[in-house]
Structure 1
Amino acid sequence: MTNNDREIILETLLMVTKEGAFSHQALKNVLDKYQYLEKKERAFITKVVSGTLEFMLQLDYIIDSYSKVKVKKMKPVIREILRSSVFQIMYLDRVPDAAICNEAVKLAKKKGFKSLSGFVNGVLRTISREKEKISFPDLATRYALPQWLVTYWQQDYDSEVIATMGAAFLSRAPLTVRVNEGKIAVDALLTKLAKEGITARKVPDFPAAIELTEIDYLEKSESFRAGEFYVQDLSSMRVGVVAAPKEGDYVIDVCGAPGGKALHVSELLKGSGQVSVRDLTEYKVGLIKENIAKSGLTNIQARVQDALVLDEQAVAQADIVIADLPCSGLGVLGRKPDLKRRITEADLSELATLQQEILAVVKAYVKPGGKLLYSTCTINKRENEDNTGKFLAANPDFSLVSEKQYLPGIDPGDGFYIALMQRKTHG
């Protein structure tokens, strides 16, 4: 790879770590800007940026073990050059270590740090020599997880489960999509994607799901632009399956952006019934409306509605209320490495309280005999099982139908929680 690719990597990492950009947005902006690059160059940039951010807590431990100047005291440019280079040394086989060291030194000089080029060279060559001997003292370092989070999880899970989840977060999760079967059959889409040069395969036990590999730029896919498939994780697809809408049902999705679950339910209704999907802001509802327009579905509408404010018109109207609520996102750490740096233990408590407050409002929309589905993409009993227990204790007119915590590396898909509750029929 060229030194220009490494300069782009550095630019992207600084956007995230120095300027506070979200990694997926920074990477998208950079890949949009450099669309002219070869596919293999774009893949290299993506791999190194994503890998550096995912493994950052571990990379910092390695660098601190071999550098007199600790990572926190380094100049931002030098810090990101070292992190991305150590990621390549530890986890990429294609580029020889000597070349990684040389390119890092050249980049440090190019960025005006000639006086530190010897330091960069020395640290990287030492790590390269010693890499087979490097070991990690604990689960947090081994799996690049915040120590507070590992300690927190140890209240509920044994070390083996945490290690399995940690390894799953660091592995390359496949891109799963749900086929819009109202527009195209699964087999027909597989054939079409093959002609587009995209490798795809069916996912066992998920009838409308396929995994995509060898895909460079999703927006280039004619099938994607035509709304023939929708990017959605397997765990998220379970919501529609567990909700099990029957033809003619009226469904309200109270925090629905960007619309994947509501669209799935709309498809399962086979053109019947109605789905009202809501979210807090015009921007989020705009995303939902874009996806509805692409889908071609007509039994679904989007509107702005604060889930904490009671919609009087909706009281006791819904056969199903889907409450996929704002959460800590600990089940998707593999896809959102920013969370490792941003989320705090205090956030978990605040989010659990917010979820309780929303459930206390939206329960009113469930008609007698109707269903309330509560879900999150997190692994945290306080937000999940405890909240469901509190809700049921406070609302004896609801009963628990089913409850499941899905764990990454143990169950297919992201970490996810789903509880299905039913309102009793009075009289």
Structure 2
Amino acid sequence: MQNPRELALDVLMKIDKKEELSHIAIGETLEKYQFSEKKDRAFFTRLCQGTLERRLTIDYVIDLYSKTKVRKMKPLVRSLLRMGACQILFMDHIPDSAACNECVKLAKKRGFSKLSGFVNGVLRTISRQKQEIPFPDRNKDFEKYLSVACSMPEWIIRHFLRSYSEAETETIVSSFLEPKKTTVSWMESSGSREELIASLEKDGAKVEDGKLLPEALRISHYDFLRRLTSFREGRFIVQDESSMLAGKAADPKEGQKILDMCSAPGGKALYAADKLHGTGQVLARDLTEYKEELLKENIERVGFENIRTQIWDARIPDERLAESMDVVLCDVPCSGLGIMGKKQDIKYNLEESALEDLVKLQREILKTALTYVKPGGSLLFSTCTINPKENEENFRWLAGQTGFEPEDLTPFLPETLDIKTVKEGYIQLLPGIHPCDGFFIGKLRRTK
């Protein structure tokens, strides 16, 4: 693999300039160097992800010890200092001297010899002072403290504090910094769970049971997903347990017609198709060719024939499907505040003003979704956020529509999940408090 630090620098600069989303930029580089040494790929990934997830903390520290503030630095110098500080502050196995020296070398290699002394000075000062950094006082300014400690914009902290206590908010935002294992959903149509585990372990992966559902597994210590035999054979899909719970709550039954309105990359659609055991039909829709390609790629790998894809704007009613679906899955576009631990771009790119616009878009889609549910059929509404306006308020609005009533979710959830609203037809899952992503699930049935 080319110098992992130099590759990380290129990726971080692309993300800083908002040329690419982080998971795409990192994923493309890993794809290109998939046959490189595992330790180099692991270091590259940790350096990129660590610098991104801790960026606000890192910027705070750099600003303490640099005369030039981070926002005024040249993009390359800014990215170099961030990745150098990340190694010094959060990657204990990397000697501070190596972090400093390699950043200085890269500055010179990229034509910034005159600023290499500045880079060296700032990083060595951080190294000397790292045990004595004056962080904000949590008792005097809790929002500022939590923002810096957990690398979370202050407006998001304030947003959470409107709905949750200080302790709950700290648990939620702290959880986004915890290491994440890959959660996968076993496709029961492709063989037994035991066969899947044996195949994963044969390929060197460490396998653990999920926390909520028997079809969930957590895997780690593997090198590259596509090198896993069981992945290529379509024995599992990558899917968080919160999303699996939504699929379970939809309660797909053999022979049913199911519509997934905002489907890409297709986790819920494939979960539903698997439970149909080769019967029925799942129609997976999304807005663009790119998203349809993601759907087709996963469907082809898994090999199900009872699922097809279609490009469609979810806001636009399709009269051909009016009152024809047994189950409608509607995972609407949302703010993504429940998955910031996996998608770092959200906390840096999302603006508070966008939340109101999202609620309007969601209601447009949900209003259309209602038209597809046949009498006796159900609508499963979900999001990967923890914003009450996008979730509970939208669900109450849905429940007020003529001909629909909330359905008790108790039969579909594990006993370990004790959520008070379950009988009212909805649950809000919280990261750090529940063992999954932040996710909302609500279910309504069309009365006969």
Q: TM-score, normalised by structure 2?
A: 0.91
Contact 2:199/2:229 (8 A) holds in 1 = no
- Residue 171 of structure 1 deviates from its aligned partner by 1.0
Matching residue within 234, 245, 255 for 1:248: 255
The aligned counterpart of 1:421 is: 444
Q: Distance in 1 between matches of 2:83 and 2:297?
A: 36
Deviation at residue 44 of structure 1 after TM alignment? 0.2
Instruction: Summarize the alignment of residues 110-189 of structure 1 with structure 2, pairs less than 5 Å apart.
Output: 110-137=109-136, 138-189=145-196
Structure 1 counterpart of 2:358, from 320, 339, 351:
351
Taking structure 1 as reference, are residues 3 and 122 closer, same or farther at Cα in structure 2, changes over 3 Å only?
farther
Q: How does 1:6-405 map to 2 (within 5 A)?
A: 6-18=5-17, 20-137=19-136, 138-393=145-400, 395-401=401-407, 402-405=425-428
Q: Take 1:290 and 1:184, find their aligned partners in 2: how far apart are those partners?
A: 20
> What amino acid is the match of 2:10?
E
User: Is residue 34–residue 224 contact of structure 2 (8 Å, CA) maintained in 1?
Assistant: no
Count, aligned residues: 423
The one-letter code of the counterpart of 1:181 is E
State the secondary structure of the residue aligned to 2:259.
strand
Give unmatched runs, 5+ long, in structure 2.
Answer: 137-144, 408-424
Residues 259 and 284, structure 2, Cα contact 8 Å, conserved in 1: yes
Q: Structure 1 residues 382 and 232 mapped into 2: Cα distance closer, same or farther (>3 Å)?
A: same
**In the alignment, is the contact (CA less than 8 A) between 2:211 and 2:435 conserved in 1?**
no
**CA distance in 2: counterparts of 1:324 and 1:413, whole angstroms:** 17
- Identity over aligned pairs, percent: 46
Distance in 1 between residues matched to 2:297 and 2:3, nearest whole Å: 36
C-alpha separation in 2, matches of 1:351 and 1:19: 21
Shift of 1:12: 1.3
The one-letter code of the counterpart of 1:380 is N
Aligned partner letter, 1:101: C
1:133 is paired with a residue whose SS is: coil
**Aligned equivalents of 1:282 and 1:10: distance in 2?**
31
Q: In the alignment, residue 421 of structure 1 is paired with which amino acid? A: L
2-structure distance, mates of 1:3, 1:60: 27
Whole-angstrom distance in 1 between the partners of 2:179 and 2:134: 22
Instruction: Report the residue type matching 1:250 in the other structure.
Output: K
Note the alpha carbon deviations across 1:49-107, whole angstroms, 9 max, x for none.
Answer: 01101111111011111111100111111111110011111111111112211222222
Q: Residues 34 and 273 of structure 1: is their aligned pair in 2 closer, same or farther, counting only changes over 3 Å?
A: closer
- Following the alignment from structure 2 to structure 1, what is the Cα–Cα distance between the partners of residues 21 and 85? 22
1:411 maps to 434
In structure 1, the residue matched to 2:412 is none
- Is the 1:322–1:373 Cα contact (8 Å) retained in structure 2? yes
Paired with 1:256 and 1:18, the residues of 2 have a C-alpha distance of 29
Q: 2:328–2:373: 8 Å Cα contact kept in structure 1?
A: yes
Deviations 1:157-212 (Å, cap 9, x if unpaired)? 11111111111111111101111111121111111111111221221431111111
SS in 1 for 2:338: helix
Gaps of 5+ in 1: none
Question: Distance between the aligned counterparts of 1:364 and 1:321, measured in 2?
Answer: 10
Query: What is the rounded CA distance, in whole Å, between the counterparts of 2:177 and 2:211 in structure 1?
Result: 23
Q: Deviations over 1:111-167 (max 9, x none)?
A: 222222222122111111211222532211111111111111211111111111111
- The answer as to whether partners of 1:316 and 1:367 remain within 8 angstroms in 2 is yes
Letter in 2 for 1:6: R
Task: Give the CA deviation at 1:19.
Answer: 5.0
Asked if 1 retains the 8 angstrom alpha-carbon contact of 2:283 and 2:309, the reply is yes
1:415 deviates by 0.6
For 1:133 and 1:336, locate their aligned partners in 2 and report how far apart those are by CA, in whole Å: 31
Partner of 2:422: none
Per-residue deviation, 1:232: 0.7
What secondary structure sits across from 2:176 in the alignment? helix
Q: CA deviation at 1:3?
A: 9.2
Deviates more, 1:30-39 or 1:51-60: 30-39
Cα pair 2:296 2:309 within 8 Å, conserved: yes
1:168 alignment partner AA: S
- The one-character-per-residue Cα deviations of 1:373-399 (angstroms, maximum 9, x if unpaired) are 110001101111011112223x13211
Distance (whole Å) between structure 1 residues aligned to residue 7 and residue 303 of structure 2: 38
Give the CA deviation at 1:400: 1.6
The answer to whether the Cα contact below 8 Å between 1:251 and 1:320 also exists between their aligned partners in 2 is yes
Matched to 2:305, the amino acid is T
Q: Distance in 1 between matches of 2:75 and 2:234?
A: 41
Q: 1:362 to 1:100 in 2, by over 3 A?
A: same
Moved more, 73-82 or 197-206: 197-206
Q: 2 CA distance for matches of 1:331 and 1:89?
A: 29
Q: Deviations over 1:16-57 (max 9, x none)?
A: 112521111111222233334311011000000011011111
Q: State the Cα RMSD in Å.
A: 1.5
Code of the aligned partner of 1:45: F
The structural deviation recorded for 1:311 is 1.1
34-43 vs 223-232, which deviates more?
34-43
